[in-house]
Chains A and B, each alone.
Chain A
Amino acid sequence: MAARLAQHGPDGGGAQPLISVRGLGIRFKTSHGVWQATRKLDFDIAPGERVGIVGESGCGKTITGLSILRLLPNNLAGLDGSIMFDGVDLASCSTRQMRDIRGRRIAMIFQEPMSALDPVFTVGHQIAETLRVHTGVSSEEARAKTLDMLRRVGIASPERRIDDYPHQLSGGMRQRVMIAAALICGPQLLIADEPTTALDVTVQAQILELLRELSETSGTALMLITHDLGVVAETCTRMITMYAGEVIEDAAVDDALVKPLHPYTSGLLRSLPHLSERRGKLASIPGRVPSIMDMPNGCRFKARCPYAVDACDAEQELRDAGGGRKVRCARFAELDLPGALQHATTAPIAAMVAQS
């Protein structure tokens, strides 16, 4: 495991992507007809890279993560496009091939660790299960590796904790157990769907730190799905913004925060209350996300966009904006949109720490 992981460092960008999603469309059958949950998604994740997928509820970010592992609900009507992972198209490969990749080479953790863990088995059993299924190691070896993994995810006295049941652990410890189970086979990609949303802010800080550190030391790429731009800023190097089932912006995190190219990204950044600023009027994005049953033609954000013009009625493609950035906006080149900086001019904590 270590040997394979050592091959790809965190600076694997520019080389062959680890995973390459092209034209991904996910459709569902419902009693109201077929719903298109995502459309024409294009993005890559490089080996060892940490990418945040950001968007509001219903934008398709969770379903995109699930589609990579083909963990899709029964009412799936179809998957369009391709998800290339090491020469295999995950969108069309056999169930058998998928099963070999799932859990071993690509793993996933979810928001609510309590519902992801089985209450009637010890945490040690559940972590070792992945290992036994995929590698067929002896139970002694599995236990030793599980102990080692529990230690790596920061669980104190793992010898005691390994035989605990999930209900005996706190929320933060359960999420650590989930991370241990996800990483025990040394996957190349970890998909984390809102992994800290159910946790308190001080515990969230611990878990994000852990994910970043494990990704750096083991070279596991991270796809972090979240609605929280702060979480992405602290954890990821690149940020993909989704809106109404489409990727609308793809850029290095710092670039997107300082100078967003899409009016939606800019609107989100300006609508966030900041620690350092009080009582001002928060910017807000008028209106609401269009219904999945009634998507407008052309740009899907145009009805809420202060910069919309006639050109936005035309179908928008995700276009190369230079500097490794992509954006789905007809006017990106002429607009100069405000980012996070216009908002927060003082950073009290940073100042405080710098002082001492």
Chain B
Amino acid sequence: MTADAHSIVSVRDLQVRFQTTDRRATVKAVDGVDFDVRRGETFGIIGESGSGKTTIGRALVFLLKPSAGAILHDGIDPLALPRKQFQNHRRDYQIIFQDPNAALNPRMTILSSVLEPLELAGQGTRAERLARAREAMDRVGLPQEIGERYPHQLSGGQKQRVVIARALTLRPKLIVCDEVVAALDMSIRGDVLNLFADLQRELGLTYVFITHDLAVVSHISERVAVMYLGRFVELGPTESVSERPLHPYTQALLSAEPRPLPSSMRGGERIVLEGEIPSPIDPPSGCRFRTRCRYAQDVCASRVPDWRELVPGHWVACHFADRPNFSPN
């Protein structure tokens, strides 16, 4: 197994399986995914609920153990490290979740919440830790007096800033952002997305941005992967994926996105997919998207499509993606 020298994270044939509560069946939440995240980039993962995108995010920071396959951080396998070293290592790889209300302890002041990771890590003196926490709050645009307040006294946007500040205190290399703006009101979303972009520039951070929102992912990411039922179906530079999508699922997803544009500019026929995402307990054979795909042929049921690089840097898993006339209409 080799890892690209520029990769901060390399994922090889990642599989994560869960037992159902009655232990009779296995859910293959992630079923064979390969990708690299390059240092300093924003790597987007889009998918609908049940696609496995959140499971990947959790596995990337080892909140979940892969059932098979490997996740390398900077070329090393953190699971092979001794316990103490593993704990230290994890601080460089942080995760932020969707709901800041669930992430903040309602009985702790904002400053103690921001301080907590530093205290757990036991770094520096109390004065140094305070200075670091205040610096992090400053960086996300929170005034110092907010430190004395409790979460219920803050707005949703402010709470998400607190969570971001807290992740920054340990000066991570990579942050997994799982639906971080989904719970925010639209006028606040732009602000928080701008903050993520500013922090990346200032601190050289790498992000893995997980979301169901195509507009958000295409705004913030350099590269994007599209996930369906535990697998990637397409991966490539954001412009390329959003302007020339190769997989029928990506094409449908893009055309389903409601666009706040006047009717004259929306144009085009919309591809409306039939049905809903099948159960990951018993996924369709061959290509998993075939049950909803309007181009599906017999081969799609019998053979799993290869993961092919059709255009440099642009990968797709579809038997027919390279055929001419294969375009959404």
Is B258 a contact of A234 with CB atoms below 8 Å? yes
Is B212 a contact of A271 with CB atoms below 8 Å? no
Most buried by A among B157, B187, B266: B187
Is A230 a contact of B262 with CB atoms below 8 Å? no
Most buried by B among A57, A201, A228, A276: A201
Q: Indicate whether B20 reaches chain A with its CB closer than 8 angstroms.
A: no
- Which residues of chain B have C-beta atoms less than 8 A from A271's C-beta? 186-187, 189-191
Is B218 a contact of A275 with CB atoms below 8 Å? yes
Is A204 a contact of B186 with CB atoms below 8 Å? no
| Shortest Cβ gap from B162 to chain A (Å) | 15
Q: Give B158's nearest chain A residue, CB to CB.
A: A288
**Residues from 135 to 185 in B contacting A, C-beta threshold 8 Å:** 155, 157, 185
Q: Indicate whether B256 reaches chain A with its CB closer than 8 angstroms.
A: yes
Task: Give the residue of B191, B260, B262 whose beta carbon is less than 8 angstroms from that of A272.
Answer: B260
Task: Count residues of chain B with CB under 8 A from any CB of chain A.
Answer: 53
**Residues from 297 to 323 in A contacting B, C-beta threshold 8 Å:** none
- Which residues of chain A have C-beta atoms less than 8 A from B187's C-beta? 56, 267-268, 271, 284-285
Give the distance in Å from the alpha carbon of A57 to the alpha carbon of B219 in the complex.
23
Task: Count residues of chain A with CB under 8 A from any CB of chain B.
Answer: 58
Is B268 a contact of A233 with CB atoms below 8 Å? no
Give the distance in Å from the alpha carbon of A202 to the alpha carbon of B274 in the complex.
9
Is A205 a contact of B272 with CB atoms below 8 Å? yes
Is B48 a contact of A353 with CB atoms below 8 Å? no
Most buried by B among A172, A273, A276, A340: A273
Q: Indicate whether A170 reaches chain B with its CB closer than 8 angstroms.
A: yes
Is B258 a contact of A273 with CB atoms below 8 Å? no
Give the distance in Å from the alpha carbon of A85 to the alpha carbon of B212 in the complex.
40
Task: Give the residue of B190, B218, B239 whose beta carbon is less than 8 angstroms from that of A284.
Answer: B190
- Which residues of chain A have C-beta atoms less than 8 A from B64's C-beta? none
New contact pairs (8) apart from A209-B270, A253-B263, CB-CB < 8 Å? A57-B185, A201-B256, A230-B259, A231-B258, A257-B261, A275-B218, A284-B190, A353-B255
Q: Enumerate 12 A-B pairs (CB-CB under 8 Å) in ascending A order.
A: A200-B277, A202-B276, A203-B276, A205-B270, A208-B258, A209-B270, A234-B258, A234-B259, A274-B219, A344-B265, A348-B243, A348-B254
Could you list which residues of chain A lie within 8 angstroms of chain B, going by C-beta atoms? Answer: 56-57, 170-173, 200-206, 208-209, 227-235, 253-254, 257-258, 267-269, 271-279, 281-285, 288, 340-341, 344, 347-350, 352-356
